[in-house]
Every structure is written in C-alpha cells, then in structure tokens.
Amino acid sequence: MGIRLLIFVFMINSIQCIFSQFIPADKYLINCGSSTNTTIDNRVFASDTSFSSILSTPKDISVNTTANLISSFDNSALYNTSRVFVGPSSYSFPIKKIGRHYIRLYFFAFSHQAYNLSAATFSVSTQNFVLLSNFQTPNASTAVFKEFSVNITSEKLILYFEPLDSLAFINAIEVFSAPDDLITNTAKNLNPKGTYSGLSSNAFETVYRINMGGPKITQKNDTLWRTWIPDAEFLFNTNSATFVNVSTPIKYKKGSPTREIAPDFVYNMATKASNLLTVSNPTFNVTWEFNVDKSSTYLIRMHFCDIVSNALNLLYFNVYINGYSADQNLDLSILTSKSLATPYYADYIATDDLGKVRVSIGPSDMENIKPDGILNGLEIMKMNLNSIDELKSSSKKHKIGVISGTVIGACSLIVSVACLYMTIKKKKKEKKLLKKHNSRTWIPLSFFGSKSYAKRSKNSNGTSSSYGEYSNSQLALQFPLIVIQEATNNFDESRVIGVGGFGKVYRGILRDETRVAVKRGNPKSQQGMKEFRTEIEMLSRLRHRHLVSLIGFCDEDKEMILIYEFMEKGTLKSHLYGSSVTNLSWKQRLEICIGAAKGLHYLHTGQQKAIIHRDVKSANILLDENLIAKVSDFGLSKTGPEMDQTHVSTAVKGSFGYLDPEYFRRQQLTEKSDVYSFGVVMLEVLCARPVIDPTLTRDMVNLAEWATEYVKRGELEKIIDHKLDGKIKAESLRKFSETAMKCLAEFGVDRPTVNDVLWNLEYALQLQEDGEVSDHDGLEENGKSLKELVDVFGGNKLEDDLIDLSKTFSVSRVFSQLIKIEEVSIMKTEEGR
Ligand SMILES: *[C@@H]1O[C@H](CO)[C@@H](O)[C@H](O)[C@H]1NC(C)=O
Ligand SMILES: *[C@@H]1O[C@H](CO)[C@@H](O)[C@H](O)[C@H]1NC(C)=O
Ligand SMILES: *[C@@H]1O[C@H](CO)[C@@H](O)[C@H](O)[C@H]1NC(C)=O
Ligand SMILES: *[C@@H]1O[C@H](CO)[C@@H](O)[C@H](O)[C@H]1NC(C)=O
Ligand SMILES: *[C@@H]1O[C@H](CO)[C@@H](O)[C@H](O)[C@H]1NC(C)=O
Ligand SMILES: *[C@@H]1O[C@H](CO)[C@@H](O)[C@H](O)[C@H]1NC(C)=O
Ligand SMILES: *[C@@H]1O[C@H](CO)[C@@H](O)[C@H](O)[C@H]1NC(C)=O
Ligand SMILES: *[C@@H]1O[C@H](CO)[C@@H](O)[C@H](O)[C@H]1NC(C)=O
Ligand SMILES: *[C@@H]1O[C@H](CO)[C@@H](O)[C@H](O)[C@H]1NC(C)=O
C-alpha cells in the first residue's frame, strides 16, 4: 500500500515534471483586423476590436480577404485579416511583469481592392527599439513571420507602426512573457576572445532556429510556441553528417537548461559527424552555412545533448563559428556534471561582415579520441537592433567583462560594427525617403515642400551625408529621421520656437516624453554643414550643468538636425527686451550671469585644450524652467591655442556688437574674445537694450560704446533698466559695472579671465543680498583693484595670458577681414531677431 502510494506520488511528480507548462505573466494574442476570435492549437487569438483600448489612434482600418490563401503557411488562419494604418499608429499593451518578452509579428500582403498591401513600406518599433525599419513584404505570395525578444522595463509596451509611403499593416501580434533565464547576461565573444556582458538589456531578432537532425518542430510541440526548422538545407556537405533521433527521456536537471530553453524534441535529435567518411578522410568538419545581413552582430546559441554515447567521456569535439575556434575538446560529460542525455547550451557572439554565419563541429585534437561531433539545436539571433532612446548612451550599455586582455578590443569592435550596421540601415532609408518625397507624401511637407526635395534629389549623387566624418561616440547620438518627424509632428509650423541663420527650431516631444528643442538646418546654407559638425563634435564631448546638452542629431537625407534638451524659458535676450520681456530681478540677473560664466569657464578650462565659444551673446544663453542659465550654440567654436602659441589665427566670425575689437583687428582668437563678448552681455543685462540699435542716435547705436561713456562720466544710473531703478544696491552695481568694463578692455591682456569674472559676479551677488559684508575677511573693496579683490576672494590667480603683440598681420589682411565681418554681421543680425 505504502509502496503503491509512493509510486503514485512519483508518477504524479514525473507527469507534472513533463507536462508542467510555462505560464506567461503577460500574454496577448491578437488577430488584427478580424471581427472574430481565431483559435490555433488551443491558443485564442482575439479580435483586436475586443481590445479597443489597445488601439491608441483611430487612423486604422480593418480589412479582410476572400482570396484563396496559401494554406501551407503556418497559422494561415491568422492571415485572412489585416489592420491597415494610413498614418502613424500604435498598439499599447499593459505589462504586468517587466523583463524579457517575445514580440511576434505576422504579415501577409494579400490582395485587396482598396489597399495595395504589397506596396506598403513601414517601420515597426517599441519605445526603445526599432524592430523593423523600411520593412516591405518580399512579394505578394509570401507570409512573413518575425520574432523579437525584448527586455521590457516599463509598465507599458507600445508598438508603433509608421508608414513611410502610404500605409502600414499587420495581420497578427503575439506579446508574451518569456522566462527570465532565457537570455543570460554574458556570452563568449569570439573575435577577439573575451566575455561579452550586457545581453540582458539587449533586444534580439530571431533569424534562424534549427532542430538539428530532425523534422520541423511546430509551435504546438514547443513550450514557448517556437518553430524549429530542420538543418538539412543548411548543411555544407550532406555526406559529412548523419541524423540521429532517439526516444531516450531527456534529463532536465537542476542547473541544466529547462524545457523553455529548448523542448525535448530538439535534444532528442541531433546531427552527428558521419562515420562513413572516416576511412578515406578521417578528419573533417561538419559545417552549416546561414545567410544573414552583412555587418551585424549575432548571438549564436548551440544546443547539445549527448544522446549518442553509451558511456561518459567518450565524445570530444571542437566547435568553430566563422572560422574562429569557439570551443575546443568540448566534453559534454563534464559540462552536464557526468550525465548523459542531459541538455547543455552555449552562447557565442559573432560579428560578421560576409553576410554568412558558418557553424562547424570538428574532430578534437586530442590523441586516441575517435573523430566525432554532435549538434542538437542552433539559434541565431541578431543583436544590434537600432535603439531609439538608448542611442545616446548605447556605447556605455555594452559593458564588457574583465576576463581577458583583449576585452577592450572586443568592445570597440562590437560598437563599431553596430555603427556600421546603423550606417547601412540609414543609407537604405535615405534612398527610401527620397523616393517617398518624390512620390506621394503621407504628411504635408510644410518646410521644404516636395518641389525642393525633387530638385535636390536630382543633384544628390555623391553628396549624401558622410558618416565617415563622425566618431563612434557621435554616431551613438544619431536619431532616425522618423523619430524626429514624430516628435515634431512632422515639423509642424505651429511648433516653431525660433528661427535663425542655421534654420528653424521646433519644440518636440520624444516617446519617453522628454521635451526637446529640434534645430533643423537650412539646407541652403553651405557653411551650415561645418557649424553642424562642430556643434556635434563639441557637444558630444562636453557635459556641464551650464551648457545646453545635445541629446542627438540626424544627418539623414540631407537633413542637418540637432536635438537639444528643451529650455523652457527661452533665451536670456527675450527676457530683457523685445516682445516677451519679463521682470527679472537683479538677483535673478546676477544668477543668470553667474551660470553663464560657469558654463564659459568650463569651456575655457574644462578640457585639455581651451574651447573658445566665439559667439557669446544673450541669444545664446538659454534658461530652463528654474531660470538656470546654460550656454548654447557651439557652431562657431574653436579649440584654443596650443601651449606654445598664444592665439588661433582664423577668419573673423561672431555677432556684430559683441565682437572683440582686438580679434577684429588682428584676427587672433583667445579666450579673452569670449570675455569681451560676455562684458557686452553684462551690459545688456544691466541696460536691457539691444547691443546694436541702428534706430538710435549715433552715440547710442552701440551699447558697449554708449555704456562705457556713461560709466566714464559716472552716470551709469541714468542708463540702467528702469525696472531695476532703486532695486540695485550701489555696491553691487559698482562691482558689476566695474567688472563689465574690465571685460571690455581694448586689449585682451587687460581683460580678466572668465574665472575672475565669475568671482566678481558672485561677489556682486553677495553685496546685493547682504548689505553687511564686513571688512574683517578682507572683502571690502575700498580702493582695492579688481585683481586684489579676486585674489582675496577666491584665491584664484589672474592668468595674465601674454599675448604676442608682434607684427604678424598685414594691412591687406585686416582689410579683407573687415569685409568678412560685414557679411557675418548681416547674417548674424538676421539670426538675432
Ligand atoms: C470581412 O469584412 C466584412 C465587411 O467588409 C465583414 O462583414 C466580415 O465580418 C469580415 N470578416 C472577418 C473575418 O472579419
Ligand atoms: C474573444 O476573446 C476575448 C479575449 O480572450 C474575449 O474577451 C471575447 O469574449 C472573445 N470573443 C468571442 C466572440 O469569443
Ligand atoms: C481563413 O482562410 C482559410 C483559407 O482561406 C479558411 O479556410 C478559413 O476559414 C479562414 N478563417 C477565417 C476565420 O475566416
Ligand atoms: C501594388 O504595389 C506593387 C509594388 O509597388 C506593384 O508592383 C503592384 O503593381 C501594385 N498593385 C496594384 C494592383 O496596384
Ligand atoms: C516570393 O518570395 C518567395 C521567397 O522569397 C519565393 O520563394 C517565391 O517564389 C516568390 N514568389 C513570387 C511570385 O515572386
Ligand atoms: C532587464 O534589464 C534590466 C536592466 O536593463 C535588468 O536589470 C534585468 O535583469 C533584465 N531582465 C532580464 C530578464 O534580462
Ligand atoms: C508534435 O505534436 C504532435 C501532437 O501534438 C505529434 O503528433 C507530433 O508527432 C509531434 N512531433 C513533432 C516532431 O513535432
Ligand atoms: C526517428 O527515426 C525513425 C527511424 O530511425 C523514424 O521512423 C522516425 O520517424 C524518426 N522520428 C522523427 C521524429 O523524426
Ligand atoms: C575545421 O574548421 C576550422 C575552422 O575553419 C579549421 O581551423 C580546422 O582546421 C577544420 N578542421 C578540419 C579537420 O578540417
């Protein structure tokens, strides 16, 4: 009786063990466009009309076909209906359990009288990854099934469908939780050897899933509803291999792979090195070859299970991928803790630039071992899907472990291959976009108009964007154009927040709800390209609280687009004068000046080589929602002098009214040129008037000259902003104006450094806030020079940059520079409005 019970319990256990099914926490099966539910292998694909909350936008239509379907498709019942999108649209799925999920998409371009589905070109993406870009079904008689695995980290998955031409469509969708251990964080990197770490946040596209040695395994025989196809057609030399199938129960042990990694059928079958050839040619490899996209990175998972040996430690073999040794003298008995018929899998990372993945098993090089080898299953997953909002930090995300010395090489290789892949994708997209704009457009093109596109595409040969000019870290900031179009509602005119010489600036919202400013380059401006590159170059290197940060850029289809953090309160200039003046208090103005000076100070000293902004002005100082000032617009920036030089010789550029007279005369650029411009900004802040106002009388046109005159006369109070009347403490005003005047010194050598300016501003703020600055700490300034003050206050040295005042310029050059200045000033005044 007791024994019977025991046996019974044992049976129940083993039955549970065999049949316990994986139950996904999240599970959405949708038959798109259908009005009824469809059941396939006990799985109910619900009509998407019953998921009305899932559809976020009504820009879609459900269509169905009465055409004779090719019923040999797997799940052909899912292909009878389709949802068609005539504009960007999305499905949104609430997620209960964050972590890895499968996303499966079914496409079939059936014929329909109203919609030509075979002409659809579109992209499908999640919040974080572009799953399909410029996707088109290969032809009207082939169904396409795509599987992705994505680690979802938010409580909602949104699948975006974006038509490139006229429409997008989808026949069915599956979204369900996968087991957490399906993809582990690390894999063996093959070239160079090392450990690749960071897989768990990656997205993958399944490219091949093979059942070695066996027939096709359909969804109903796989715990995760996967399909495994036979390997025969991929075998390089069919004579080299024999297929094995056994009915031995597979031992899924603790610590070994589970049924969710691969089902029994996969491990019960294998392709094995053939014995037939051993006599004539005792050593050979069994090789499979798979066509893949060129220049991509793949996670290759090989499934092993020793179902051929009669005893332990008899089977030894080598494994190669793309000619690289992946494992040598693999001994499954050891890897499975001395157990036959026990599954084992190994993950490898392979990069490929041939468009092929070659997997081989070959004889071990150990003596007295029978040449043999076995492989039970193989999965090839494409890794580097274009990421959307992780683009900006993707290089950081791919952490490479610390196993071997060549690991750093592996990292850069992977990143650069990823970039190459992106480049290729982009180039493809570029073509598509041109096509799009030449033909019918799905959204009104408000800015360029289709005419100018057509014209530009004609002379486009050879002048497409040159990705070679960006470094890897910069490429990581690249955004697909479609994302920017979406963020700005396709450059909606109502979103324009500024217009400058470079082009228009739009307000935008990214999918993760980050607000951004999108600066779209004017394609007509030739010099724009250079400034565009400079800005990307500078800002991808610089990060500072008081510098506007670059979120990304787009150099696609002749677009020059820069994406910045959104600065809620606009330019400093707009707060001072013009149509939207606000009441900034003196304290606020000082704090803004201090912030801007900190940003400039970082530019001048934060890097190995000083960076000279060259276009410091109130329109380039932006304010965030808390009125924190940030310096922007690095389009003209240049790195400063080398140690053995004291200046950079360069064509004079900058904005009229802010331009350093010394730079103007001698075309020699130093940090002190920025200091001069900053002095002008300080006067703007104080007087709240334009730096150049041609409508005024001659002596008033130029702010710097005018204010200097009043300071000399000791009548500064007469010209300050009336809103500040009686609100500035005299000491604070004196400190401030004195500093501004020093900045405006005729020669750079006489001007303070930005750091000195900063300390003086802080001091002016303190004088304003606290009338009782006492002299015990030496801060009273009676009779003290600026230099002494700064020395006492901050302990910072006054860097007297000794400028070589020698004779390096000729009259004619000065003359030619003067002409240039006029050109610049015209352009820049335009920008100023
Ligand atoms: C196909 O469309 C027709 C109307 O266009 C509708 O009556 C029918 O229910 C649809 N069939 C399916 C399977 O959705
Ligand atoms: C279809 O499936 C959904 C979800 O499983 C269910 O709520 C709905 O009642 C089903 N509709 C029909 C007509 O069976
Ligand atoms: C789908 O199409 C197949 C083949 O044309 C047909 O047998 C089946 O009934 C259709 N299913 C639905 C739900 O319309
Ligand atoms: C549908 O589009 C494809 C691809 O653009 C084209 O070859 C085909 O002729 C079109 N069919 C119809 C009926 O317009
Ligand atoms: C459609 O594509 C499939 C696979 O790419 C191919 O086998 C088939 O012959 C193609 N059919 C036509 C009509 O081009
Ligand atoms: C998903 O990614 C997060 C971090 O991005 C990681 O902590 C987590 O372990 C991942 N989950 C899985 C199942 O890989
Ligand atoms: C799959 O499952 C079906 C029944 O569910 C069975 O008849 C078939 O033999 C199985 N075999 C394979 C290889 O999928
Ligand atoms: C396994 O091999 C036997 C013959 O050796 C064959 O009859 C059987 O169909 C095979 N099973 C599978 C699932 O391929
Ligand atoms: C098997 O392939 C690898 C990699 O291409 C090669 O190095 C090795 O020599 C081959 N072995 C045999 C026995 O051909």
Per-residue pLDDT at 688 exceeds 90: yes
pLDDT value at residue 785 = 36
Q: Closest ligand to 28 CA?
A: 2
- Name which of 7-11, 723-727, 780-784 the model is least confident about: 780-784
Q: Is it the case that residue 771 has pLDDT exceeding 70?
A: no
pLDDT value at 371 more than 60: yes
Domains 23-177 and 186-382 share a fold: yes
Cβ(77) to ligand 3 under 6 A?
yes
The protein residue whose alpha carbon is closest to atom 1 in ligand 9 is 285
- pLDDT the model gives residue 649: 52
Q: What is the mean pLDDT of residues 349-373?
A: 85
CA 7 to chain CA centroid, Å, is 59
- What is the rounded average pLDDT of the residues 573-591? 90
Is the omega angle on the peptide bond into residue 752 within 30 degrees of 0, that is, cis? Answer: no
**pLDDT tens digit string along 413-442?**
333 333 333 434 444 443 333 333 322 222
Report d(CA 476, CA 540) in Å as an integer.
Answer: 10
Residue 216 has pLDDT above 90, yes or no: yes
Are 652 and 667 a contacting pair, CB within 8 Å?
A: yes
Across the strands, what pairs with 173? 30, 105
If pLDDT is split at 50, 70 and 90, which confidence band does 503 have?
confident
| CATH fold for the domain made of 427-456+469-565 | Phosphorylase Kinase; domain 1 (3.30.200)
User: Is the CB of 53 within 6 Å of ligand 3?
Assistant: no
Is the entire prediction scored with pTM above 0.85?
Answer: no
Residue with CA at minimum distance from ligand 4 atom 3: 119
Among the residue ranges 525-529, 603-607, 674-678, 751-755, the one predicted with the least confidence is: 525-529
Per the DSSP assignment, residues forming a β-bridge with 172 are: 31, 106
pLDDT tens digits for 317-343?
A: 999 999 999 999 999 988 888 888 999
pLDDT-based confidence at residue 535 (cuts at 50, 70, 90): confident
Half-sphere CA count of 511, side-chain side, radius 13 A: 27
Q: Whose CA is nearest to atom 6 of ligand 9?
A: 323
Which structure tokens are listed for 328?
Answer: 């040598």
Task: Pull the structure tokens for residue 805.
Answer: 């005042």
CATH number of 186-382: 2.60.120.430
Closest CA to 386 of 428, 416, 425: 425
Task: With CA atoms as reference, report the closest residue to 480 among 427, 410, 522, 437.
Answer: 427
Does pLDDT of 480 surpass 90? no
Q: Is the pLDDT of residue 593 over 50?
A: yes
In this predicted structure, what is the pLDDT of residue 486?
A: 83
What is the pLDDT confidence band of residue 280, given thresholds at 50, 70 and 90? low
Any idea which of 39-53, 425-439, 646-660, 695-709 has the lowest mean pLDDT?
A: 425-439
Contact residues for 460 (Cβ-Cβ < 8 A; gap 6+)? 434, 558
**Residue ID of nearest Cα to ligand 9 atom 3:** 323
Task: Report the C-alpha gap between 223 and 23 in whole angstroms.
Answer: 9
| Domain-wise residue ranges, the chain | 23-177, 186-382, 427-456+469-565, 572-722+736-747
- Residue owning tokens 């000076």: 597
Token reading at 146: 């795509």
The ligand that comes nearest to the alpha carbon of residue 43 is 2
Answer whether residue 215 shows pLDDT above 90.
yes
Q: Which residue is listed with tokens 């899932």?
A: 54
Sign of CA dihedral 186, 187, 190, 194: positive
The closest-lying atom of ligand 2 relative to the alpha carbon of residue 47 is 1
Please work out whether the CB of residue 136 comes within 6 Å of at least one atom of ligand 4. Answer: no
> What integer pLDDT is reported at residue 608 of this predicted model?
77
Residue 3 has pLDDT above 50, yes or no: no
Q: What is the DSSP string of 251-273?
A: ---TTS--TTTS-HHHHHEEEEE
Task: Say if residues 781 and 789 touch (Cβ distance below 8 Å).
Answer: yes
Q: Which one of 48, 615, 633, 721 is the catalytic residue?
A: 615
**Residue 243 in this model has a pLDDT that exceeds 60:** yes
Residue 775 has pLDDT above 70, yes or no: no
Torsion, Cα of 505, 507, 508, 512 (10° steps): 120
Give residue 118 CA to ligand 4 midpoint distance, Å: 6
For ligand 6, pick from 98, 126, 201, 389 the residue to mutate: most ligand atoms within 8 Å of CB.
201
pLDDT of residue 62: 67
For range 219-238, the mean pLDDT: 91
The Cα–Cα gap between 717 and 686 comes to: 10
Buried-state track 228-263, b at ≥16 Cβ within 10 A, e below 16: bbbbbebbeeeebbbbbeeeeebebeeebbbbbbbb
CA 596, CA 603: separation in Å to the nearest integer? 11
**Among this protein's residues, is 372 annotated catalytic?**
no
**Euclidean distance between CA atoms 320 and 359, whole angstroms:** 6
Q: Which of 100-114, 249-263, 404-418, 746-760 has the lowest mean pLDDT?
A: 404-418
If one compares 351 and 674, the residue with the highest pLDDT of the two is 674
Residue 289 has pLDDT above 60, yes or no: yes
Ligand 1 pocket residue status of 796, Cβ below 6 Å: no
Give yes or no for residue 803 CB within 6 A of ligand 2: no
Q: What CA–CA distance (Å, rounded) separates 300 from 98?
A: 25
Q: What is the mean pLDDT of residues 25-35?
A: 90
Using the mean position of ligand 6's atoms as its centre, give its distance from the Cα of residue 296 in Å. Answer: 23
Q: What is the DSSP letter of 752?
A: P
SS3 748: helix
345 neighbors 356 (Cβ within 8 angstroms)? no
Between CA 453 and CA 458, with CA 457 as vertex, the angle to 5 degrees is 125
Helix (H, G, I), strand (E, B), or coil: what is residue 130?
A: strand
Burial degree of 661 (CB within 10 A; 0-12, 13-18, 19+): middle
23-177: CATH topology: Jelly Rolls (2.60.120)
For the chain, the first-to-last Cα distance in angstroms comes to 96
Share of the chain above pLDDT 90, in %: 31
Candidates 37, 45, 176: which one to mutate for ligand 2, based on the most atoms within 8 Å of Cβ?
37
pLDDT for 189 beyond 60: yes
Q: Is 119's C-beta closer than 6 angstroms to any atom of ligand 4?
A: yes
Q: Assign domain 572-722+736-747 to its CATH superfamily.
A: Transferase(Phosphotransferase) domain 1 (1.10.510.10)
Report how far apart, in Å, the C-alpha atoms of 757 and of each of 263, 606, 630, 679, 683 are: 71, 16, 17, 9, 13
Helix 786-794 to helix 730-743 angle, to the nearest 10 degrees? 110
Q: What is the 361 CA–ligand 9 centroid distance (Å)?
A: 9
**For residue 297, which of 352, 368, 222 has the smallest C-alpha distance?**
352
322 ligand 9 Cβ < 6 A: no
- In the chain, what percentage of residues exceed pLDDT 70? 72
Separation of CA 69 and ligand 5 centre (Å): 15
Summarised one tens digit per residue, pLDDT across range 95-113 is 999 999 999 999 998 887 7
Which of 25, 192, 204, 233 lies closest to 104 in space, CA to CA?
Answer: 204
> Which residue, among 702, 778, 773, 709, has the nearest Cα to 741 in the 3D structure?
709
Ligand approaching nearest to the C-alpha of 50:
2
pLDDT at 651: 58
> CA-CA distance, 617 to 395, in Å (whole number)?
34
Least confident of 391-400, 488-497, 572-581, 641-650: 391-400
Residues 628-636: what's their mean pLDDT?
A: 84
Q: How many CA atoms lie within 13 A of 687 on its CB side?
A: 28
Could you tell me which residues come within 8 angstroms of residue 300 by beta carbon, excluding any fewer than 6 positions away? 321, 347, 348, 349, 350, 357, 359, 378, 379, 380, 381
Which among 34, 13, 112, 12 is positioned nearest to 79, based on CA atoms?
Answer: 34
Report the atom number in ligand 1 closest to the C-alpha of 80: 13
Give the number of whichever ligand sits closest to the CA of residue 220: 7
Q: How sure is the predictor about 460, in pLDDT bands with cuts at 50, 70 and 90?
A: very low
**Closest ligand 7 atom number to CA of residue 217:** 14
Give 412's pLDDT tier (boundaries 50, 70, 90).
very low
Kindly report the protein residue whose alpha carbon is nearest to atom 13 of ligand 5: 141
Q: Tell me what the pLDDT averaged over the chain comes to.
A: 75
Ligand 9 centroid–CA 270 distance in Å is: 21
Quote the CA–CA distance of 657 and 651 in Å, as a whole number: 17
638 marked among binding-site residues? no
In terms of DSSP H, where are the helices of 490-542?
Answer: 526-541
pLDDT surpasses 90 at 817: no
Angle at 626 between CA 622 and CA 628, to 5 degrees: 45
Minimal CA–CA distance to 267: which of 175, 376, 183, 346?
A: 376
Residues 6+ apart with CB under 8 A from 405: none
Answer whether residue 4 shows pLDDT above 70.
Answer: no
Strand order in the sheet with 324-331: 286-291, 356-363, 316-321, 324-331
Give the pLDDT band (50/70/90) at residue 554.
confident
Measured between alpha carbons, how far is 671 from 552 in angstroms, rounded to an integer?
Answer: 27
pLDDT tops 70 at residue 686: yes
Amino acid of residue 577: Y
